[in-house]
A = this chain, B = another copy of it.
Amino acid sequence: MSHDLDAIAAQLRRNGFRMTPQRQLILDAICELGGHVTPEEVVQRVQAITPALNRATVYRALNFLVEQRIITVTLLPDGKFVYELAEGEPHHHLVCRACGASVQLPHAALSEFYRLMEKQYDFRVDMTHISFFGLCKNCREGSA
């Protein structure tokens, strides 16, 4: 699936923001690169087309688009952020720290935990994407 620039532009304008060529380019880049892109990958991609497009603009656009819920951000266990189009269900990841393999985790896998936190601690956890580091089966057998 792709992104609908017109609909996104309309949504932005409705909220008092603007659609710019830079933001379009950045959205295109995220879409074409597929899921989980780093800011630097986006910079590379858009600068291949428009070299003048500034690095800072990319960082600001990514934050902005996350706030507008047009894209989502995931915090990897190494402290880096990756971005992807906001479509479908929120989900989380298990990332193997040995081989880098990554398993998608349905949100349901964590919702029980979320429910518990709200009940026991009166605390409502943000349902942002989360990644957990660990070892997959193959890598456990290799090193153990």
Nearest-neighbor residue (CB-CB) of A118 within chain B? B134
What is the size, in residues, of chain A's interface with B at 8 Å between Cβ atoms? Answer: 32
Whether the pair A134, B140 counts as a contact (CB closer than 8 A) is no
Whether the pair B135, A123 counts as a contact (CB closer than 8 A) is yes
Nearest-neighbor residue (CB-CB) of A109 within chain B? B116
With a cutoff of 8 Å between Cβ atoms, the chain B residues found around residue A128 in the complex are 77, 133
A127 to B50, CA, bound (A): 44
A28-86 residues with Cβ-Cβ distance < 8 A to B are: 75, 77, 79-81
The 8 A CB mask of A106-134 against B (1 = contact, 0 = none) is 00011011001100111111101010111
Copies of this chain, whole number: 2
Nearest-neighbor residue (CB-CB) of A137 within chain B? B122
With a cutoff of 8 Å between Cβ atoms, the chain B residues found around residue A109 in the complex are 113, 116-117, 120
Whether A12 is near chain B, meaning CB under 8 Å from some CB there, is no
With a cutoff of 8 Å between Cβ atoms, the chain B residues found around residue A137 in the complex are 122-123
With a cutoff of 8 Å between Cβ atoms, the chain B residues found around residue A80 in the complex are 79
Whether A94 is near chain B, meaning CB under 8 Å from some CB there, is yes
| A83 → B minimal CB distance (Å) | 13
Whether A8 is near chain B, meaning CB under 8 Å from some CB there, is no
A residues adjacent to B (C-beta < 8 A): 75, 77, 79-81, 94, 96-97, 103, 105, 109-110, 112-113, 116-117, 120-126, 128, 130, 132-137, 140
- A-B pairs with lowest CB-CB distance, top 4: A122-B137, A125-B134, A79-B79, A94-B123
